[in-house]
Chains A and B, each alone.
Chain A
Amino acid sequence: MTAPPPRKRMLTDPQVTPDPAPGFETGSGKPLVSMRAVSKVFSNGTVALKDMTLDVSRGAFVSLLGPSGCGKSTALRIVAGLGDASSGRLVWHDNGTDEAGSRPEIGFVFQEPTLMPWATVFRNVWLPLRLSGRPRNQSRDEIMDALDMVGLANFADAYPRELSGGMRMRVSIARALVTRPKLLLMDEPFAALDEISRFRLNDDLLHLWERFHWTVIFVTHSVFESVYLSQRIVVMAARPGRVVEDMRIDAPYPRDAAFRTSPEYGDNCRRVSTALQAAMGASAA
C-alpha cells in the first residue's frame, strides 16, 4: 500500500481556501459536519475560539491537538451542542449531500468516566436509551452489545467503584456507543489513565473504528496519541483559540504495536511535534 505524500495546509495562508479539497481525507470524502467561521467568546471576554472552519468527512478519524486553552474542547462542545457558538455556523450533512441537515446521533466521551456511582454498569450504559424513553427490557440487546464491544459483558451488574480506571472509561465508551451514533466525540478520554491502559484502549478504539467506521473527533494534547490514532490532525493554538495547521497521517490501518516503533510513526510524530511547537510559539506571541 503506497501512501500519497503528506500534505500540509496552513489555514493562515491566504492563498489556501479554508475548505479542504475533495478526497483530502480518507473515508467517503463527503463531509458529515462543517464548522464555518465558528467563534466562541466567553462572558468574561476570553476568546476561546476564533473563526474555526473545519470539514469533517464521514468515517474520518480526526484529532484536535493543541496546548490547553486552544479551544479544542470548546470546539468539541459546540459540535456536540453543549453551548452555542458566539458567531459562525455549524452545518450538518446528515443525508450525505451538501444540504444542511439536522444533528445526527452523537456519542460523547468526557475526560472523566462521568458515570453515575449509584447505578450499575448496565444502568449507566442504559442511560442514553432510557432518556429517550426506552424501557429496560427493550434496551437489553443494545446494552449488552455495547458492553461486549468494550469487553465488559461480564461486568453488567458491577458498580463503578468496583472497577479500575481503565474499565470505567470502557463503560463510558460503551455508553457513548449504545445509541449507535454516527459521530463519536471524545474529549481527552484517556488523559487520566496510565500509559499501559491508554495504549490498550487506543488499540481497542481503533479496532472498533475500523469495524464500524463512525466518524470520530478526538481531542488530545498528546502528539503520540494523535499520530497513532488519526487520519488527520488539526493543530490549534491558544489566545485566541484557532486552527493553525491541518495535517494528514497517511499510515495505513490497522495500526498496532509495530506501527508504534516504526520510522514512519517517528517521522509523523516529529512533523506534528514541530507543528505543535510552532503553534505554541504563536500562542505565546
Chain B
Amino acid sequence: MTTTEINPTQRPVDDAGAPARTRPLGERILRAAVPVAMLALLVVAWQIYVTANDVPHYILPSPARIAGAFVTDWPVLLTALGVTVRITLLALAIALVGGVLLAIVMAQSRWVELALYPYAVILQVTPIVAIAPLILIYAPTTQSALLICAWIVAFFPILSNTTQGLRSTDHNLLNLFELYGANRWQTLIFLKIPSALPYFLTGLRIAGGLALIAAVVAEFAAGTAGAGSGLAFRLLESQYRLNIPRLFAALVLLSVTGIIIYFITSLISHLLLRNWHESAVRREN
C-alpha cells in the first residue's frame, strides 16, 4: 500500500502541516507582566486613596495595614488556613472517590440509578446554608459537620458529570467493543472510563471551588458555636472585633486558596487531556 498523501518522516502536527509553535518570548513575558502590573496599579491606587482621604482603618484598611496584619497575625491565620484547607481537601477527596464510584455503579445498573439519583439531586438543590444547622446538630463534632457540608456540595458535580460522561460513550465504539466480544469490565475500563474523563475533570474543577465555598459557608453557619478555628471563623471574629485589617487578610488567604485549588485542578485536567481532547489542544489556524 503506498501512501503519497503524507510524508512519513514528518509527524503531522495539524491539518496545515505546520510545526507546533511556542509563543515568542516577548509575548510570554507580557502575558505574565500585564496581570501583575494591573494588580500593582490597583494596590497603589488603593493605598493612595486611603492615605489621601484619611479613611479609618476599621472602614477600609490600607494595603500596608493588611500586610501588617499578615505579619502580626500570621500564626493565627496560618492555623486557621490549615483547618479550612484540610476540610476542603478531605471533603474533595471523599467526594471524588464516592462520586466516581457511585457514577460507575449507576452506569452499570439502571435500577441503582433510578433509586439513588433523586437523592443526589435533592441534596444538591437544597441550599447548604439551610441544611448546615441540622448537620451541626446530628454530627458528632463541629469538624465532622463542616466536612459533611463541604462533601455534600462537592459530591454532586463529580457524580453528575461522571455519570453524564459514562453515558456519552460513542455508540459506534460500543458496537465495536461488542463486535470484538468485550465483556462488561473491558468496556468499562478501556472505553467508558476514558471517554468520561473530560466530563469528570470538569466536575473536579467545579467541585474543587465549591468544596472551599461550602467549607466557609458551613463555618459561618456553625458561627461561634463551633470550636471553629477555620479561616471563616477568624473572619467572623475579626468582624465582631472590628479588626478589619485581619478580616481582609483572611479574605485574601481564602481567595488565594481558591485560586490555587482551581489552578491545580486545571493543571491536572490539562496534563491528562493534552494529547487528545479538543479542550486541551491549542487551535492551529
Contacts of B13 on A, CB cut-off 8 Å? 162
B1-22 interface (Cβ within 8 A of A): 1-6, 8-9, 11-15
Does A285 sit within 8 A of B, measured CB to CB?
A: no
Does A166 sit within 8 A of B, measured CB to CB?
A: yes
A219 to B195 CA separation, bound complex (whole angstroms):
29
Does A42 sit within 8 A of B, measured CB to CB?
A: no
User: Per-position contact with B for A125-157: 1 when CB-CB < 8 Å, else 0?
Assistant: 001101110000000000000001111111101
**Which of B1, B190, B276 is A160 in contact with, Cβ under 8 Å?**
B276
Does B137 sit within 8 A of A, measured CB to CB?
A: no
User: Per-position contact with B for A166-185: 1 when CB-CB < 8 Å, else 0?
Assistant: 11001000000001000000
A108-B179, A162-B13, A163-B12 known; A117+B3 contact, CB < 8 A: no
Does B194 sit within 8 A of A, measured CB to CB?
A: yes
Task: Determine whether the beta carbon of B177 is less than 8 Å from that of A114.
Answer: no
User: Per-position contact with A for B163-186: 1 when CB-CB < 8 Å, else 0?
Assistant: 000000010110111111110001
- Residues of A within 8 Å of B, CB-based: how many? 43
Does B191 sit within 8 A of A, measured CB to CB?
A: yes
Task: Determine whether the beta carbon of A114 is less than 8 Å from that of B176.
Answer: yes
A153 to B1 CA separation, bound complex (whole angstroms):
11
Task: Determine whether the beta carbon of A158 is less than 8 Å from that of B11.
Answer: yes
Does A224 sit within 8 A of B, measured CB to CB?
A: no
Task: Determine whether the beta carbon of B180 is less than 8 Å from that of A164.
Answer: no
Task: Determine whether the beta carbon of A150 is less than 8 Å from that of B1.
Answer: yes
Stretch at the interface among A9-17, A24-32, A57-65, A200-208: A200-208
**Which of B2, B190, B277, B281 is A130 in contact with, Cβ under 8 Å?**
B190
User: Per-position contact with A for B182-219: 1 when CB-CB < 8 Å, else 0?
Assistant: 10001000110011010000000000000000000000
Nearest residue (CB) in B for A167 is B6
Does B285 sit within 8 A of A, measured CB to CB?
A: no
Task: Determine whether the beta carbon of B176 is less than 8 Å from that of A132.
Answer: no
Task: Determine whether the beta carbon of B179 is less than 8 Å from that of A117.
Answer: no
Contacts of A150 on B, CB cut-off 8 Å? 1, 3
A131-B182, A131-B186 known; A161+B11 contact, CB < 8 A: no
Contacts of A110 on B, CB cut-off 8 Å? 172, 175-176
Nearest residue (CB) in A for B14 is A162
Does B275 sit within 8 A of A, measured CB to CB?
A: yes
Contacts of A151 on B, CB cut-off 8 Å? 1-3, 8
- Residues of B within 8 Å of A, CB-based: how many? 35
Nearest residue (CB) in A for B171 is A114
Task: Determine whether the beta carbon of A159 is less than 8 Å from that of B276.
Answer: yes
B78 CB, min distance to chain A CBs, angstroms: 41
A110-B175, A167-B6 known; A128+B180 contact, CB < 8 A: yes
A176 CB, min distance to chain B CBs, angstroms: 10
Task: Determine whether the beta carbon of B1 is less than 8 Å from that of A118.
Answer: no
Contacts of B176 on A, CB cut-off 8 Å? 108, 110, 114, 127
Contacts of B9 on A, CB cut-off 8 Å? 154
A38 to B170 CA separation, bound complex (whole angstroms):
28
Does A100 sit within 8 A of B, measured CB to CB?
A: no
Does A78 sit within 8 A of B, measured CB to CB?
A: no
Does A116 sit within 8 A of B, measured CB to CB?
A: yes
A151-B3, A164-B15 known; A117+B277 contact, CB < 8 A: yes
User: Per-position contact with B for A96-131: 1 when CB-CB < 8 Å, else 0?
Assistant: 000000000010101010101111000000011011
Task: Determine whether the beta carbon of B281 is less than 8 Å from that of A132.
Answer: no
Nearest residue (CB) in A for B193 is A118
Does A266 sit within 8 A of B, measured CB to CB?
A: no
Task: Determine whether the beta carbon of B276 is less than 8 Å from that of A118.
Answer: yes
Task: Determine whether the beta carbon of B194 is less than 8 Å from that of A116.
Answer: yes
Contacts of B179 on A, CB cut-off 8 Å? 80-82, 106, 108
Task: Determine whether the beta carbon of B11 is less than 8 Å from that of A155.
Answer: yes
A157 to B9 CA separation, bound complex (whole angstroms):
13
B10 CB, min distance to chain A CBs, angstroms: 9
A214-265 interface (Cβ within 8 A of B): none
Task: Determine whether the beta carbon of B275 is less than 8 Å from that of A118.
Answer: yes
Q: List 26 A-B contacts (CB under 8 A).
A: A81-B179, A82-B179, A108-B176, A108-B179, A112-B172, A114-B176, A116-B194, A117-B276, A117-B277, A119-B194, A127-B176, A131-B182, A131-B190, A132-B181, A149-B1, A151-B1, A151-B2, A154-B8, A161-B276, A162-B11, A164-B12, A164-B15, A166-B5, A170-B3, A179-B180, A197-B5
Q: Which residues of B contact A (CB under 8 A)?
A: 1-6, 8-9, 11-15, 170, 172-173, 175-182, 186, 190-191, 194-195, 197, 275-278, 281
Beyond A130-B190, A149-B1, list 4 extra A-B contacts (CB 8 Å).
A110-B175, A131-B181, A155-B11, A197-B5
- Nearest 6 CB-CB pairs, A to B? A151-B3, A154-B8, A114-B172, A151-B1, A117-B276, A204-B1
